[in-house]
Amino acid sequence: MEQNQSQTSILTIDTNSSSSTIESNIKSKNTNTEENNSISIGEIILYGSCLIIICTISFTQANNSTYHYTNMLREAFVTSQTDDGNTFNDIAQSSGEDFWKALQGPICSRLYNIDNTESNTPKIDYGYIYNENKILGVARLRQVRVQPNSCELHKEFAKRNFTQECYAEYTVDKEDQDSFGNNSLNIFTSDAWNYTSAKQTRTSAHAGVVSEYGGGGFVQLFTRNANTTIEILRELQRNSWINRGGAITSTSIRAVKLIRYTTSIDYLSFICEIIFTLIVILQIFNKKYLFLFNLWNLINLITIILSFIRILYEIVNHFLTKKNLGNLLKIENNYPNFDELFNLKINSDFYLGVTLAITWLKIFKYLNINKTMLLLNKTISSCLNEIFAFTSIFLIIFLAYTQLGWILFGRYLTEWRSFRTSIFALFRMILGDFDLYAMRNIGQIIGPLFLFSYIYFVYFVLLNMFLAIINETYSRVESDKTLQTFKIKKFSMNFYQLIPRKKSIDYETNLKIRGYTDDDIKKIVNKYDINKDGNLDEREQKIMKHDLETGQLKLNQK
């Protein structure tokens, strides 16, 4: 008998312990849920703060006047006409005369403001463009040359000596660094015939239409006197400084703001940059290795990396500008090289723009309170595998047509002249921007067949395939009723906790859930209302909560 009682007691203890374990697990799950909910609210606030700060930094740095500066310089040097009505862009590929006419004509007239007759300052020494924009230092001509006999000829051509010299396409390893010309004939331009390395010129590579050119070359500086500069140009032309080849013109005009903090808006941007830097540092230390668990955390990691790179660019740019700008402004008779500062600023703006774009896209994560946005996010995430498969098919067809168009039209049409430009030409065809007549003139059958077959595969096959993937996934997601309500309920519960209200209302709600009537609730409140103010303060609520949990709450007690 005693043994049975002991076994019963053991079973009772085990049952109680298991039930208490279940209750503790439920409580821990509820606690974790509450913590996750609070973290979600914190993430929303943090995201909104980051978005406002990044937008403030971007808008304060985006200056509309940069376009007007660029357009003004383009009109001054590129589109200004020579005596025969041609511009810099009209320089003929078969004649070097146009190049020298453009230099001695509109370019020199803008550099030295030769047309200015209103100012008392001698016009040949006037260092302003349009009387307002100061020219720092002097201009510079730089020529890069290709080594003679740098290309490989077929043995039959080499045997018959059909060509005197053969020049390959320009690359840095085929660059000619040998001096040329007759120095006895050069009075003003003795240095222009000797090679200067990129380290000496402190110039970065420049991308043109045909190739990308190194920073070295044969350099000739202008002077601060217009007459002397014109004599230099005439001497270079007379002694054939450019002795072969034609011309394919391209221009690159960059307007940047090197001195960052000058106005109140700039200082506002500075404050936002400091706050943003602190946020990035805190995220780096808080998140640690949790970035790789889901897509949104991976996007957070990418955003932080881009932000960190941009911050480094800004720091380096600030100190280099502070270090070098004073010396560059003092240069008068040499070429002040701003390439390093320009590149740092342009790269910094690039990373800022990419960071801003990704930050805006991240807003989809926090729009799940809306049914439509929730369905959109879930649809995209659910059909990622199908989209990747579709992208593979699209790239196969797209690259095939790119190579075909390059081969068919590359030797005739400008937009198909290279593989890279052919890619953009095909994208333009998707938007309906193409020249059917030019393609038909090249081939009466091949041109239209290429166009119509490409449109057929892209519009009627691939586009409908993509829409079918999205439509099927959207229908499947829309039928999931639990998905539509969970996110919204979770979000609303978070904000419900933030609404200020009397804490006694929470206990009244809990008591109603436990089955107490309104009369019982009034009796309970009156019982625990020690100070008799009609409300339960924090101490009174703790006492009532303890009695509820321990089962000591009895209404018949006085």
In this predicted structure, the answer to whether residue 439 has a pLDDT above a threshold of 50 is yes
Whole-number pLDDT of residue 40 = 60
User: What pLDDT, on the 0 to 100 scale, is given for residue 499?
Assistant: 45
Instruction: Please measure the distance between the N-terminal and C-terminal CA atoms of the chain and give it in whole angstroms.
Output: 43
- The three-class DSSP label of residue 527 is helix
Query: What three-state secondary structure class fits 134?
Result: strand
Q: What is the CATH number of domain 378-483?
A: 1.10.287
76 in Cβ contact with 86 (< 8 Å) = no
> In angstroms, rounded to a whole number, what is the distance separating the alpha carbons of residues 341 and 355?
21
Among 126, 80, 125, 85, smallest CA distance to 103 is for 80
Q: Which residue has the tokens 């996934």?
A: 473
Whole-angstrom CA distances from 533 to 228, 519, 526, 530 are: 98, 18, 10, 8
Q: pLDDT tens for residues 203-259?
A: 888 888 888 888 889 999 998 888 888 899 988 888 888 888 777 888 888 888 887
Among the ranges given (43-52, 123-132, 286-295, 377-386), the one the predictor scored with the smallest mean pLDDT: 286-295
Q: How far is CA 355 from CA 53, 64, 280, 311, 526, in A?
A: 12, 21, 12, 11, 58
pLDDT, position 510 = 67
Residue type, 345: K
Query: 256, 66 in Cβ contact below 8 A?
Result: yes
- Output the CA torsion sign for 64, 65, 68, 74: negative
Q: Are 408 and 445 in contact (CB under 8 A)?
A: no
C-alpha to C-alpha distance for 553 and 521, rounded to whole angstroms: 12
- For the segment 305-320, the average pLDDT, to the nearest whole number, is 87
| Whether the predicted pLDDT of 504 surpasses 50 | no
Looking at residue 175, the DSSP 8-state letter turns out to be: B
Q: Would you call 207 helix, strand, or coil by DSSP?
A: strand
Q: Is the dihedral of CA 185, 187, 188, 190 positive or negative?
A: positive
CA distance 176 to 170: 10
Contact 494, 385 (CB under 8 A): no
> Under DSSP, is residue 221 helix (H, G, I), strand (E, B) or coil?
strand
**Tokens describing residue 502:** 């009397």
196: DSSP letter = E
- Confidence (pLDDT) at 512: 67
d(CA 43, CA 547) in angstroms, rounded, equals 37
Where are the chain's structural domains?
35-63+257-366, 140-221, 378-483, 501-558
Give the span between the Cα atoms of 452 and 63, in whole angstroms.
44
User: What pLDDT score was predicted for residue 21?
Assistant: 45
Contact 341, 321 (CB under 8 A): yes
* Reported confidence tier of residue 423, pLDDT bands at 50, 70, 90: very high
* Confidence bin at 450 (pLDDT 50/70/90): very high
Q: What is the pLDDT of residues 61-90, one digit of tens each?
A: 777 788 888 888 888 888 887 777 777 877
DSSP string, 12-56: HHHHHHHHHHHHHHHHHHHHHHHHHHHHHHHHHHHHHHHHHHHHH
Structure tokens given for 84:
């025969």
- Arithmetic mean of pLDDT over the chain: 77
Average pLDDT over residues 328-335: 86
Task: Please give the C-alpha separations between residue 203 and each of 143, 206, 216, 218, 339, in angstroms, as whole numbers.
Answer: 13, 9, 7, 13, 6
CA distance 382 to 53: 32
- Using the predicted structure, report yes or no on whether residue 487 has a pLDDT greater than 50: no
**Higher model confidence: residue 504 or residue 213?**
213
pLDDT attached to residue 483: 59
Question: Which residue is listed with tokens 């010309």?
Answer: 181
Phi/psi of residue 535, each to 5°? Answer: -130, 155
DSSP code at position 381:
H
Q: Which amino acid, one-letter code, is at 7?
A: Q
Distance CA 307, CA 305 (A): 5
Q: How confident is the model at residue 422 (pLDDT cuts 50, 70, 90)?
A: very high
